Each structure stands twice: as structure tokens, then as C-alpha cells.
Amino acid sequence: LFREYFPLDKCILWIGALGITFYFFRRYIEGGQFTKDHVKMNGKVVIITGANTGIGKETALDLARRNAKIYLACRDNKRCEAARLEIIEKTGNTNIFNRHLDLGNLQSVREFAEKFSKEEKHLDVLINNAGVFYLPHSLTKDGCEIHMHVNHLGHFLLSHLLLELLKKAPQGRIVNVSSLMYGRAKIDQDDLHLQKPNNFEKWKAYSNSKLAQILTTQRLSEKLKGTNVTINCLHPGVIYTDIGRHMTMPRLWSGYSIQLWYTLLTNP
């Protein structure tokens, strides 16, 4: 009976088609590839936001091994300090510093930039990595939707406040960590903070913030032509990090779907 409804040749065909689809989908979402080199960053000053975990932490580890001077800019001081000590232990680089930065608070961004400007005479690299994802609707104390504020506006302000220090470096670089999710954005210019009834969706809020990030990256890139500062954004791939900790699934489905999803993910 099984063979009657599921002929072997058709089963093989379907399995092959699913396998090919799975392979190309994974290649699509995994992000760009690069070959590690041995270029050193002696004397280079770097800021990485959200550097206590995930992509930010792995980036800090790599740059620490290249002898860069790194400022870990994080909201949680305790976790940031733990990451700082771990990076020092693993790399032997003691020029790693823990600095408080809450991207959901514009005053905190201003205070961070002001303090950093007193500590350093230039900035070589600013990596805007921190982000939030799949949070329920809420507004920051500045009145902005949380995804748009943390993922875009906070970094936008930080980049502008540090721009003069970046221009003082031989080659200043701003790197915005973005996402392919920007393609799902639906920005309502009359409701940027998604307060209209039934207008808020967690996926849309995140996607909107990433589209805004990309658009401002393009605009700032045009303004910086002719200077020694470049700005770029990137899709790092779909990575297994803490950013997805707020996602939930129906209990019956989650056990199967989450295992399938993990096979698509890459470690930082």
C-alpha cells in the first residue's frame, strides 16, 4: 500500500528536490564569505557595539588577536566586563575596555561619545553591531519604537557624534551590521513608530529598522565621498546568537522546527 501511494522513484525525486532547495536557501541566507588573513591592527582604535555576545564578541576576539585597541560598548556592564576578561584571557591583548552604552537612550549615546572623545584623539573603526529583535511593541523614553531606536537611530546618532574622530584617523571606517530582513520592510511614514491599531508586527518592526539603516548608510556614503571615511553595511548571515531569544513557537511544532532551523544557522 505504501509503494502504491509513494512510488520509490517519486520519493527519490522529492527528496532530491528538497535537498537542492535546502542547499541553495542556506547559501542565500548564510551571508558573505571571507578568507582570514594575518593583517595586524597595531595602534588602531575600534568601537564595537553589542560586543558582549554573538557576532560582536567574535568580532572583538578576532580584532583583539590583531592587536587592536577595542572599546566594548554594551548596555549590560556586568556581561560586558565578563566578555572583556574572556577576550583578554584568550588573546593576551590587554587593550580591551568596557564602556556603558544604551542605544535605546539618546542621552546615553551622547554621554558615551563625549567620554570617548576625551579618551581618544581618533577612531579608526566603528562597528555598529548591537540590535534587538522580535520584541513586543514598546516606546523608548525618547518616544521611539524600540527596534527603530536601538537598531537604527541610536547608531545613526553615534556615527554622527564620532564622525570628526573618524576623520582624524588615516582611514576611518563605519560598518553597519544589517540583515536581509530589510526586504520585508513596510515603512508607513505617517506611523514610523507603529502605533496605529493592528499596524505593529515584530518582524516588520525589525525589518523597518534595517531598511532605515541601509538607506541612511547609502546617504551618508554619498556625503562622505572625498573624505578619508567610508561607511558600509553587511548581512552577516543567519547566525545562532542571543538576538533571537524572544522568539516563541507553538509547543507541538517548536521541537521539530527549531531543530530544522538550527541546521540553517551558522555559529558566530
Please report the pLDDT score of residue 1 as a whole number: 47
Please report the pLDDT score of residue 57 as a whole number: 97
Q: Provide the Cα torsion 240, 243, 245, 248; round to 10°.
A: -90
Comparing CA positions, the residue from 152, 231, 254 lying closest to residue 193 is: 152
Q: How far apart are the first and last CA of the chain?
A: 47
User: Which residues are marked as active site?
Assistant: 206
Greatest alpha-carbon span in the chain: 78
Question: Can you tell me the distance from the alpha carbon of 213 to that of 174, in angstroms, rounded to the nearest whole number?
Answer: 12
CATH classification for the domain delimited by 40-262, as one of 3.30.70.360, 2.40.50.140, 3.40.50.720, 3.30.1490.20: 3.40.50.720
Please report the pLDDT score of residue 80 as a whole number: 98
Q: What is the pLDDT along the chain (268 residues), one digit of tens a residue?
A: 455 555 666 667 767 777 776 566 556 555 566 667 789 999 999 999 999 999 999 999 999 999 999 999 999 999 999 999 999 999 999 999 999 999 999 999 999 999 999 999 999 999 999 999 989 999 999 999 999 999 999 999 999 999 999 999 999 999 999 988 877 888 888 887 888 868 898 989 999 999 999 999 999 999 999 999 999 999 886 665 554 444 444 444 444 444 444 444 455 5
Predicted model pTM = 0.80
Q: Give Cβ neighbours of residue 39 (< 8 Å, ≥ 6 apart).
A: 66
Question: Can you tell me the distance from the alpha carbon of 231 to that of 217, in angstroms, rounded to the nearest whole number?
Answer: 7
